[in-house]
Structure 1
Amino acid sequence: MKFQDIYQYFQDPPPIYLSKEVAVCYILAVLVEHGDSYGTALIQLVEAEHSLYRLSDTVLYGALKFLEEEGVIRGYWQKVQGRGRPRRMYQIDTEKRDEARSLGRLWHKYIGEQESAVKPQQRQSG
């Protein structure tokens, strides 16, 4: 290892994988803001909108299962245009929309705090 390696690490950090708790909040934020979605789209969206973050299949489907068991979301099958087989879509239960919004706000708070912490590091390492 060299000092340049350390600077490079902070200039181009490795991805941060979301925990199940954060993933629950992320999923709800997306469903509240964008409407119904499916697993692969949720994974792709976090990477597209927040390039530092990743969501593993294992964590995603664990979070979705948790949310279904708690009755906050429900899943249904739907054929997605341009895709061969039906996708398992997820939507927020109307009676749980307030709780979903509240938890979704935690995602925005988390991501705002994380991104503001990373930006000063990137400025200093340059």
Structure 2
Amino acid sequence: MTMNVQDIHQYFKNPPPVYITKEVAVCYILTVLLEEGDSYGTALLKHIRANHPPYRISDTVLYAALNFLIDEEMLSGYWQNESGRGRPRRMYQVAEGREEDAKNLSQLWLKFLGKDPALTESLVLT
């Protein structure tokens, strides 16, 4: 297949998604949980698609990152029943006493996005 100039424009108009690694996913997860509170796996996948369109996380990487955070005792989980939903949903939250560690790793996600963590921190505190 031959490429033309229009193909190049189309590529940049709709670039393919960039799948992030487990290391980056760990930092992303902590950022979402710190900023928005408890969440579950599917919501984390939808959140990155909605709020950071170029990036995606595969299910495998997401759950490997969540398991890593649980093994490191940075996250705790619980089951939540919702009316109208058949089975309970596994919810995740930053573990008590690990907020500072979570904030430090969260700063790496902001750096990954090219945001200035110091500026972001000052905006959150005001």
Q: Where does residue 33 of structure 2 map in the other structure?
A: 31
Q: TM-score if structure 2 supplies the norm length?
A: 0.83
Q: Which structure 1 residue ranges, 4+ long, deviate > 4 Å from structure 2?
A: none
Q: Where does residue 74 of structure 1 map in the other structure?
A: 76
By relative contact order (CA 8 Å, sep 6+), the higher-ranking structure is 1
Q: Where does residue 21 of structure 2 map in the other structure?
A: 19
Amino acid at match of 1:92: V
What is the aligned length? 113
Q: Where does residue 107 of structure 1 map in the other structure?
A: 109
In the TM superposition, residue 65 of structure 1 has moved relative to its aligned partner by: 0.4
Which of the two has greater helix per residue?
Answer: 1
In the TM superposition, residue 82 of structure 1 has moved relative to its aligned partner by: 4.4
Percent of residue pairs identical: 58
> For 1:81 and 1:11, how far apart are their aligned partners in 2?
41
Change over 3 Å in CA distance of 1:103–1:82 after alignment to 2: farther
In the TM superposition, residue 37 of structure 1 has moved relative to its aligned partner by: 0.6
Which segments of 5 or more consecutive residues in structure 1 lack a partner in the other structure?
A: 114-126
Q: TM-score if structure 1 supplies the norm length?
A: 0.83
Which segments of 5 or more consecutive residues in structure 2 lack a partner in the other structure?
A: 116-126
